[in-house]
Amino acid sequence: MSRPLNVTQKLIQTHLESGKMSPGEEIGLKMDQTLTQDATGTLVMLELEAMELEKAKTELSCQYVDHNLLQTDFKNADDHLFLKSAAERFGIWYSRPGNGVSHPVHTERFAVPGKTMAGSDSHTPATGCMGMFALGAGGLDVAFAIAGEPLYLKMPKVMGVKLTGSMPDWVSAKDVVLEMLRRYDVKGCVGYVLEYYGPGLKELDTMDRHVIANMGTEMGATTSVFPSDEEVRRFMKQQGRQDQWSELKADEGAVYDAREEIVLDEIEPMIALPSSPGNVVPVSDVEGEEVFQSYIGSSANPGYRDFWICGKMVEGRRVHDDVSYDINPTSRQIIENMVRNGVMLNLVQAGARIHQAGCNGCIGMGQAPASGRNSLRTVPRNFPDRSGTKEDSVYLVSPETATASALTGKITDPRRMEELFGMSWPVYREPDEYIVNEEMLVGPPDRSLEGAGDLSERSGDRSEGAENRSEGAKEGGKYEQSGTGSGSSNGELIKGPNISTLPDFEELSDFKVPVILKMGDNISTDEILKAGAEVLPYRSNIPEISKFSFTVIDENFYDRAMEQREKYGGHVVVAGENYAQGSSREHAAIAPRFLGQRAVLAKSYARIGWQNLVNFGILPLQFSDSEDYLDIGEGDLIRIDNVRNQLENGDGLVVQNVTRNVEIKTFHTMSGRQVEAMLDGGVINNFKKRNR
């Protein structure tokens, strides 16, 4: 008799193509779906072009435009045209600019229980709320998944998080995941899948679960998983997709590698202080701090309920004169429901600033706070400079805390609303009818829609207005398979002047190069390659975007790197624990590689950041003895001899610190498959070599 399995193990077992389900062993998983967004998707599409792919081999892939929505010049607009043409060429769904943030839109329209998904965005695990195994990955890994290749990762352990009790008034899902972050910080769940179960699940609707699954990423978790239960069926029925629901739950007697329990009755409003998602305390500990900005929205709080609660709290009131109350709707569909049900009117009358549906301020694309002023945000992370303001002061909070603070002008525990405003806890009720908006999703031409169904036929319980709009879209050819609508590329990629081809990288060889930067723990990809409106338009232009490498830490890094590339042929950097946490953007590897980075020496790595280094041929070495971190500094000249033989013959590498005459022992955790790619100078070179 087979042993009982938890949800995570069931998802992995049914998609396992290579390896064994033994923690730490490399496994290859079949990916049913992929998600790409415009800040990372441009490179993915260029990689597909370089791989000479004809059509996507997944059940469903979707390219979203949600990050780079500001059109201050031609760059972003040109890239939107490029992405649409690439979607047409490769048989991929295309979500138009303004349709919404990728994660909640995918949950609403495409997520299916029991499926796997790879996304070139670190918050892809959000769709784990639907009983999916959804992984954030570097763009190159996603490109290979689109091409039908397995996604490789180390078999994770599974932490079972049992939820019990009932949610108190003025507390919501954001406070639950912030409590998890208080317990585990930003690296406490590395190597684990977080699987939530227990009687407390009845307190969380699907989009509440989306909040929690989204921010498992901030704890370093491989992904987060929820069962597919009656609540997921209710949600899919609301979305007109009940025919795609299936139950998925853990077997009786299923075991976990680790266990945690959250008693919901004990949760209180929580807040992550600047500048880390793991720096969490109760809101009551910091009450009274003045607030300049209060920001609602993002993939971390995307549900209709999150905006509804804010609308009820401000109804008949006006936000404080000193507060910018920024409302960032997460999808066009959410906006329509907010308008019809009066939520938008309440917010506008209260003084809110309404922005278009997209990532916007979460990624530093507008809504940057004033210097030296506090910004409360319902976004998933608050790494330094991510907001677009260099010396920012960003706090992570729930919609309730953000809105209470917007009304008072100071950080305020929302449980004080009755005392301050005579306000009772607004009890949320689902709308009688829920508008479904599918009009800005463009179907792939010349390809059947397996895995998605015909959107124009999936009306379900939609309102009459939504049905009429969907029918109109169908008649107008919005979802026709010919792809002959306005702007069709006819198979040609439309490349503006800002789109460059991928640079070529040489095979791995011995090197003697300087250390040009030494860093501490928890360095994020936002610090390796900054986010924001100034930088992200260059995401398809590697020579230009490389100029922003490490500028958050050292404004002169680019000049020094170019100087050492000319003199020595490259450089290395040194870091502490959990290097390259945060975003999945592979630019944080490919841009330093363009500048000549040969290796990183660190105490440990975040999963996606480590994978991206391997993909682009940068050696990710770890100190065998963490104390050796002290024996290497900026300016030291280091050398690795016989590097190819060392890699081929084991996992240990000897690094010579020429300057200090010290020998440093290091190791790597690459698989044999990855070592082969590293020797070739990266995964792309290896792919070309295997397919000549």
| pLDDT tens profile 322-369 | 999 999 999 999 999 999 999 999 999 999 999 998 888 787 777 888
Query: Residue 357: what pLDDT?
Result: 86
Domain match, 276 and 260 both: no
Query: Residue 438: what pLDDT?
Result: 92
415-433 mean pLDDT: 92
10 Å Cβ neighbour count for 117? 33
Q: Is the pLDDT of residue 210 over 60?
A: yes
Q: State whether residue 610 is helix, strand or coil.
A: helix
Q: Which amino acid is at 671?
A: S
With a pLDDT cut of 70, the percent of the chain lying above it is: 93
Least confident of 457-471, 497-511, 605-619: 457-471
Query: Residue 91: what pLDDT?
Result: 96
284-311 mean pLDDT: 95
Domain match, 246 and 283 both: no
Domain match, 248 and 275 both: no
504-531 mean pLDDT: 94
* Residue at which a domain ends, from 372, 387, 421: 421
Domain match, 529 and 517 both: yes
Q: Is the pLDDT of residue 419 over 90?
A: yes
Query: Residue 609: what pLDDT?
Result: 93
Query: Residue 374: what pLDDT?
Result: 93
Domain match, 182 and 288 both: no
Largest Cα span, the chain: 77
pLDDT band, very low/low/confident/very high, at 478 (cuts 50, 70, 90): very low
Kindly list the strands in the beta sheet with 26-29, ordered across the sheet, starting from the edge strand earlier in the chain: 16-18, 26-29, 151-154
List the CATH number of the domain containing 230.
3.30.499.10
Q: Count CA atoms within 13 Å of residue 210 on its CB side.
A: 30
Domain match, 167 and 212 both: yes
Q: Is 449 among the domain residues?
A: no
Average pLDDT, the chain: 90
Q: Is 480 among the domain residues?
A: no
How buried is residue 426: exposed, middle or buried, by Cβ count under 10 Å (0-12/13-18/19+)? middle
User: What is the Cα–Cα distance from 190 to 546, expressed in whole angstroms?
Assistant: 28
Beta-sheet strands, E only, within 10-139: 16-18, 26-29, 33-37, 60-64, 93-95, 116-119, 133-136
Q: Is the pLDDT of residue 462 over 80?
A: no
User: What is the Cα–Cα distance from 285 to 527, expressed in whole angstroms?
Assistant: 29
User: What is the Cα–Cα distance from 415 to 397, expressed in whole angstroms?
Assistant: 14
Q: Is the pLDDT of residue 284 over 70?
A: yes
Q: Any idea what DSSP says for residue 290?
A: B
518-546 mean pLDDT: 89
* Residue at which a domain ends, from 205, 237, 266: 266
DSSP string across 219-276: GT-SEEE--B-HHHHHHHHHTT-GGG---B-PPTT---SEEEEEEGGG---EEEPTT-
Domain match, 195 and 303 both: no
Q: Is 538 among the domain residues?
A: yes
Q: Is 453 among the domain residues?
A: no
Q: Is 492 among the domain residues?
A: no
464-471 mean pLDDT: 37
634: CB partners within 8 A, 6+ apart = 515, 516, 517, 518
Q: Is the pLDDT of residue 454 over 90?
A: no
* Residue at which a domain ends, from 234, 266, 298: 266
Number of domains in the chain: 3
659-684 mean pLDDT: 95
Domain that includes residue 408, residue range: 270-421
Query: Residue 455: what pLDDT?
Result: 53
Q: Is 2 among the domain residues?
A: no
Buried b (16+ CB within 10 A) or exposed e, 646-669: bbeeeeebebbbeeeeeebebebb
User: What is the Cα–Cα distance from 214 to 208, expressed in whole angstroms?
Assistant: 10
Q: Which residue has the tokens 């009066």?
A: 342
Maximum mean pLDDT: which of 137-141, 196-200, 540-544, 551-555: 196-200
Domain match, 293 and 206 both: no
Q: Which residue has the tokens 């597919």?
A: 228
Q: Is the pLDDT of residue 259 over 50?
A: yes
Give the residues across from 513 on adjacent strands: 638
Q: State whether residue 638 is helix, strand or coil.
A: strand
Q: Which amino acid is at 592?
A: P
Question: How many angstroms from the chain centroid is the CA of residue 683?
Answer: 22
pLDDT band, very low/low/confident/very high, at 446 (cuts 50, 70, 90): low
587-616 mean pLDDT: 95
10 Å Cβ neighbour count for 500? 15
Question: How many angstroms from the chain centroid is the CA of residue 485?
Answer: 31
Angle at alpha carbon of residue 670, lines to 667 and 676, rounded to 5°: 115
Q: Is the pLDDT of residue 447 over 80?
A: no
Domain match, 227 and 340 both: no
pLDDT digits (tens, 9 = 90+) for 121-155: 999 999 999 999 999 998 899 999 999 999 999 99
Domain match, 299 and 254 both: no
Domain match, 209 and 195 both: yes
Q: Are 580 and 525 in contact (CB under 8 A)?
A: yes
Q: Is 673 among the domain residues?
A: yes
Q: Is the pLDDT of residue 50 over 90?
A: no
Question: Among 480, 486, 513, which residue's Cα sits nearest to residue 657?
Answer: 513
List the CATH number of the domain containing 683.
3.20.19.10
Domain match, 218 and 301 both: no
107: CB partners within 8 A, 6+ apart = 126, 127, 129, 130, 206, 207, 210
Higher-pLDDT residue of 480, 511: 511
User: What is the Cα–Cα distance from 593 to 597, expressed in whole angstroms?
Assistant: 5
Query: Residue 240: what pLDDT?
Result: 95
pLDDT digits (tens, 9 = 90+) for 616-637: 999 999 999 999 999 999 999 9
Higher-pLDDT residue of 568, 429: 568
Q: Is 466 among the domain residues?
A: no
Query: Residue 358: what pLDDT?
Result: 86
